[in-house]
Amino acid sequence: MDYKINPEDVKAKLDAGEAFTLLDVREPRELEIAWIDGAKLMPMGDVPSRAHQELDPDEPIVVLCHHGVRSMNVTVWLRQQGFERARSMRGGIDAWSRRVDPSVPVY
């Protein structure tokens, strides 16, 4: 399975009601600026201590951050931990704002 997913494909999954975890690994102050409804906040630094308690390794996980760098790092780590269906949203919330939902502020 590819490590990345396009924001448009994430939107299609949400619209279709597909079951997956949208994992936002940005910091709380970033969430105050822009967010995607339904996303679970787990700042990147908290992922190692929280992932095994709060995430299902069998469920698809889409990881997002600001531009896609942190989310890719988290995705690689999650895959190494057995979360084989984790993928990083290409371009992060910045790409989401520009290509999917212009009501989400760009920062």
pLDDT > 80? residue 70: yes
- The mean of the pLDDT values for the chain is 97
pLDDT class for 1, splitting at 50, 70, 90?
A: confident
| Options 25, 36, 65, 74, the catalytic residue | 65
Residue 11 clears pLDDT 80, i.e. is over it = yes
Please indicate, yes or no, if residue 106 is contained in any of the structural domains: no
Does the residue 95 lie in any domain? yes
**Residue 47 placed within a domain:** yes
Assess if residue 24 is contained within a domain.
yes
**Is 85 among the catalytic positions?**
no
In a domain, residue 105? The reply is no
How many domains are contained in the chain? 1
CATH number at residue 51: 3.40.250.10
Task: Give which of 95, 101, 76, 94 is closest to 86, Cα–Cα.
Answer: 76
**56 φ, ψ to 5°?**
-95, 120
Mean pLDDT confidence for 53-72: 98
Judge whether 63 lies within some domain. yes
- Structural domain that includes position 49: 4-99
Residue 35 tokens read as 């967010």
